[in-house]
Amino acid sequence: MKLTGVELLRVRMPLVAPFRTSFGTQSARELLLLRAVTSEGEGWGECGAMADPLYSSEYGDGVEHVLRTYLVPALLAAGDLTANKVAPLLAKFKGHRMAKAALEMAVLDAELRAHGLSFGTALGSTTDSVPCGVSVGIMDSIPQLLDVVGGYLDAGYLRIKLKIEPGWDVEPVQAVRERFGDDILLQVDANTAYTLSDVPQLQRLDPFGLLLIEQPLEEEDVLGHAELAKHLRTPICLDETVVSARSAADAIRLGACRIVNIKPSRVGGYLEARRVHDVCAAHGVPVWCGGMLETGLGRAANVALASLPGFTLPGDTSASDRFYRTDITEPFVLEAGRLPVPSGPGLGVTPVPERLAEVTTAKSWLA
């Protein structure tokens, strides 16, 4: 397969409601899509990076620049290309995993479509549908939070994740437990908002039987998480810290986490995400699929990944309408708390042209 060019699209999609985390509030998702054109057909890639470097160091304009200047030219010059060759071809460029992930996803989609294979089949899917959780932002009040969580439970979500930060942690967790009981699967995500001096406050979460606490400390603080783990009964799950299969292995070995959130964009793509899954499976560490407010394209691939056998916890693989009134693909709709794994070639979904045109703010052709 030969890459002939890549179309880069900047997209802006309004959210159904503002999404507040410990690092900021978003009311629209600005993202970057790639359409890889090859000798064997097209493929779509979606970049997990946000508009600003608040979740991780990557951000929209930076992703566009590195793709344009380094990553796409390296693949255009490569000759015969397969998705497995993308990471080695791009390895000399340090970092920029989300940009690399988007490009590899587009090439993988093109390759799989050409072979009539689905993402799920290619990655090693062992099930036709996946259990779904939902990530709930920080709210202005406890009554508002209880309304929102109640709505998601009514919609069928099988697991609730509350975003937390200092000042919004024990109270919301306690309120959700009191209203909805001890049986719902409940977890929290701090997005690095705490330090080791918060041990006493984080210990106050222990009585609530949470599945996990996600990324309490800063990204690079592996040993800090290992230390924190000694003081908590609630299992620590890492998100931001885990950027590769190797970093997952290190974190597990050092006792920094008992659970891993796998986001393909954060680790440089779906192929590395599968390796993170394999490393965790080898250590008996459960994994679940995280999200970056994906459109139907990224969501399709995430659902496929989440259907691998090590994904034993419900993921942030919510339905399209969790974030978007209108998705750019056919929407993913919850069925008894689950989403179906697409079975068509490649991602199994494509953008609806009129809908994509409505949300596209800029386009350029790299060849």
Distance, in Å, from the CA atom of 209 to the CA atom of 172, rounded to the nearest integer, reads: 14
Q: Which lies closer to ligand OSB via its Cβ, residue 38 or residue 192?
A: 192
- Residues 6, 86 contacting (CB under 8 angstroms): no
User: What is the rounded radius of gyration, in angstroms, for the C-alpha atoms of the chain?
Assistant: 20
Given 85, 92, 100, 263, the catalytic residue: 263
> Quick check: 291 binds ligand OSB (CB under 6 A)?
yes
Task: Say how far apart CA 306 and CA 288 lie, in whole Å.
Answer: 7
Give the amino acid at 69: T
Structure tokens, 361: 């703010």
CB of 290 or CB of 351, closer to ligand OSB: 290
Question: Is residue 2 annotated as a catalytic residue, yes or no?
Answer: no
Three-class SS state of 85: helix
CB of 365 to ligand OSB, least distance (A): 29
Closest approach of ligand OSB to the CB of residue 291, in Å: 2
Does residue 292 touch ligand OSB according to CB under 6 A? yes
Q: Is 288 in the site for ligand OSB (CB under 6 A)?
A: no
- Non-local CB neighbours of 77 within 8 Å, separated by 6+ positions: none
Task: Give the one entry of ligand OSB, Mg ion, none that residue 327 binds, where binding means its C-beta sits below a cut-off of 5 to 8 angstroms depending on kind.
Answer: none
Find the shortest distance in angstroms from Cβ 259 to ligand OSB: 13
Residue carrying structure tokens 């002939």: 4
Burial class (CB in 10 A: 0-12, 13-18, 19+), 233: exposed
Site for ligand OSB in 220-239 (CB under 6 A): 239
What residues between 62 and 101 interact with Mg ion by CB under 5 A? Answer: none
Our finding on whether 38 is near ligand OSB (CB under 6 A) is no
* Contact region with ligand OSB (CB under 6 A), list: 33-41, 278-286, 287-295, 324-332: 287-295
* Mask for 217-256, x = binds Mg ion (CB under 5 A): ----------------------x-----------------
Angle formed at CA 227 by CA 312 and CA 231, multiple of 5 degrees: 80
- Our finding on whether 192 is near ligand OSB (CB under 6 A) is no
> Contact, 273 vs 250, CB < 8 A?
no
- With CB under 5 to 8 Å by kind, the binding choice for 187 among ligand OSB, Mg ion, none is none
Binding-site member from 169, 189, 272, 327 for ligand OSB (CB under 6 A): 189
Half-sphere exposure of 283 (CA within 13 A, CB side): 22
DSSP-assigned beta bridge partners for residue 296: none
The reply to whether 263 belongs to the active site is: yes
| CA–CA dist 14, 27 (Å, integer) | 6
- Pick the closest to residue 82 from 32, 38, 121 (CA basis): 38
Active site residues: 163, 263
Positions in the binding site for Mg ion (CB under 5 A): 189, 214, 239
Binding site for ligand OSB (CB under 6 A): 55, 135, 189, 191, 239, 290-293, 316, 318
